Amino acid sequence: MPPVKKAVKKRAPPKHKLPEPLKPGEVLTDNMKRQWKVGGAVGQGGFGLLYAASPNGPGSVGPNAEYVIKIEPHDNGPLFSEINFYLRTAKQDMITDWMKAKKLKHLGVPKYIGSGSHEGKSRLRFMVMERFGENLQKVFESSGKAFSRRDVDMLAVRLLYTLEYLHDHQFVHADIKGSNLLLGFTKGTQDQVYLVDYGLAYRYLPDSGHRDYKEDPRKAHDGTPEFTSSDAHKGVPAARRGDIEILGYVLLQWLCGQLPWEDNLANCDYLRDQKIKYLKNIPSLLKACFPKGDCPDEVRKYLEYTSALVLNSSRYKERPDYDYLRGLFTSALKKAGSKDDGKFDFLAAKPKSGKKAVIKSSTDDEVQSPKRARSASPKKKPAPKQKAAKRRSDSSEASPPPRKRAAPRKKVVKRTVDDSDSDSPPPKPKTARTKKAAPSRKAKSPASKSPKSKAGAAKRGRKARALSTIATQTSPGLMARGRLSNGT
């Protein structure tokens, strides 16, 4: 019998709590004694909150503030790790010097601004950062879950420079994904991409030397499931090759829309086995992602390089060949007759998404104004139309209308007769005549046989004048309605 495997106790995930919210206008002082005024909340993560911020001064913090402050309770750990990363690797002079050496105009590593502690309702840790715009995951989804090949090639070149910088400064990111890639916010940076969220950043090269390859199931599966590296699935300390593998999965998803193992993201062991299976057989991976066989050649070569680097444990400490990998994508751009001008296709297509944003904002207005939304409801519009149609059909029928509807018609005829009579007396006698006219019409025959008095002759004279006036001054349609209402 095969030996029974012992169940491994996995490390319990750390429990992080959200901090107490800050009030707009509150002032925080960083470790350099600089003061920062807090504005409105602009985001929330799994362990912290983000607020717009500006250097302390008169007035409130506006919606276009160029800084954000990230806070978490002092007992939490991720922001502490992130601050430690920024202090070691992301000081402005360090980034500037490296960019000059590489002859770069842009590097997607956020610059460290400041950090400190704040005593409020509870003790908080905070960090001041540059403010960024939309993340690439949202852009990817709004683009129909597909980026153009040109966009992917340009993004790959930028991200490989970013990873090389991090690795040269002894850290790996370990959680590369679209939602951690943000566009710039301030003018002149809106077409630049920054890699953020260093909560899982790991110092693979401490002073004692490179970490050793050692599998630890208790530490397995750290990261975002669909992109987690093979080493992380096994609990091996993060290394440079893990970032290269993760980036490959991200590029692949941007091109084909979905990775073949996304059907069961809750099963981490399944994800590990699927990734290793496909790394051993890159053609099968490309066939699963590109059934029509239209996989870009540069992506195929990138994944083949990654496979050879990841599957060989002896290459765990090896420095990736960043120049070779970048060359794959720059050569592809040249062959396609394109150049890396920094103008992404998904940014050029933003006006279309802008129209959608207008629609969404109008919907939000309706939600905020319930009365307006109800008045525009399609369910209540047909009701009055149906009633109006019934009234029109009733008035067009040849049969006499109901008594309640006939009453207004008689009044219309009587008003027409009275107004057209040039000899009509003042309003008070007119009302009396109107009341007496109705019974005289109903009992027309008996009245002709009754004795004629002077009052009766006067009534008949007025009636004759009224009928002659109708005949000469009213339309045929009104005459017809007058005959129907008089019963003649």
Asked whether residue 123 falls in the same domain as residue 139, the answer is no
At 93 the three-state DSSP class reads: helix
From the annotation, which residues make up the binding site for ATP?
70
Output the domain CATH number for residue 40. Answer: 3.30.200.20
Asked whether residue 143 falls in the same domain as residue 105, the answer is no
- The domain tally of the chain equals 3
- Residue 81's pLDDT is 85
What is the average per-residue pLDDT within 180-205?
Answer: 91
| Final residue in a domain of this structure, among 356, 379, 414 | 356
Top pLDDT among 191 and 316 is at 316
Asked whether residue 191 falls in the same domain as residue 114, the answer is no
Residue 274: which domain range? 132-356
Asked whether residue 114 falls in the same domain as residue 137, the answer is no
- Cα separation, 283 vs 328, whole angstroms: 18
pLDDT band with cut points at 50, 70 and 90 for residue 448:
very low
pLDDT band with cut points at 50, 70 and 90 for residue 459:
low
Is position 145 within any domain? Answer: yes
Asked whether residue 225 falls in the same domain as residue 325, the answer is yes
- Residue 78's pLDDT is 80
Asked whether residue 104 falls in the same domain as residue 140, the answer is no
Asked whether residue 141 falls in the same domain as residue 271, the answer is yes
Asked whether residue 144 falls in the same domain as residue 113, the answer is no
Which one, of 132, 168, 91, 98, lies nearest residue 322 by Cα? 168
**Class of residue 70 by CB neighbours under 10 A (exposed 0-12, middle 13-18, buried 19+):** buried
Q: What share of the chain is helix, strand, coil (3-state, %, to 5)?
A: 50, 10, 40
Asked whether residue 341 falls in the same domain as residue 209, the answer is yes
Is position 37 within any domain? Answer: yes
pLDDT at residue 192 is higher than 50: yes
| Final residue in a domain of this structure, among 327, 356, 385 | 356
Write down the pTM of the prediction: 0.69
Asked whether residue 124 falls in the same domain as residue 160, the answer is no
Asked whether residue 137 falls in the same domain as residue 285, the answer is yes
Asked whether residue 226 falls in the same domain as residue 92, the answer is no
175 is an active site residue: yes
Which entry of 30, 175, 231, 243 is annotated as an active-site residue? Answer: 175
Average pLDDT of every residue of the chain: 78
- Cα separation, 84 vs 198, whole angstroms: 10
From the annotation, which residues make up the binding site?
70
Give the model confidence (pLDDT) of 153-164 as tens digits. Answer: 999 999 999 999
Is position 372 within any domain? Answer: no
Is position 445 within any domain? Answer: no
183 forms bridges with which residues in the sheet? 193
Is position 247 within any domain? Answer: yes
Give the model confidence (pLDDT) of 78-106 as tens digits. Answer: 888 889 999 999 999 999 999 999 999 99
Output the domain CATH number for residue 343. Answer: 1.10.510.10
- For the chain, the straight-line distance linking the first and the last C-alpha, in angstroms and rounded, comes to 112
| Final residue in a domain of this structure, among 79, 98, 130 | 130
Is position 195 within any domain? Answer: yes
Is position 319 within any domain? Answer: yes
Residue 7 has what DSSP assignment? P
Is position 121 within any domain? Answer: yes
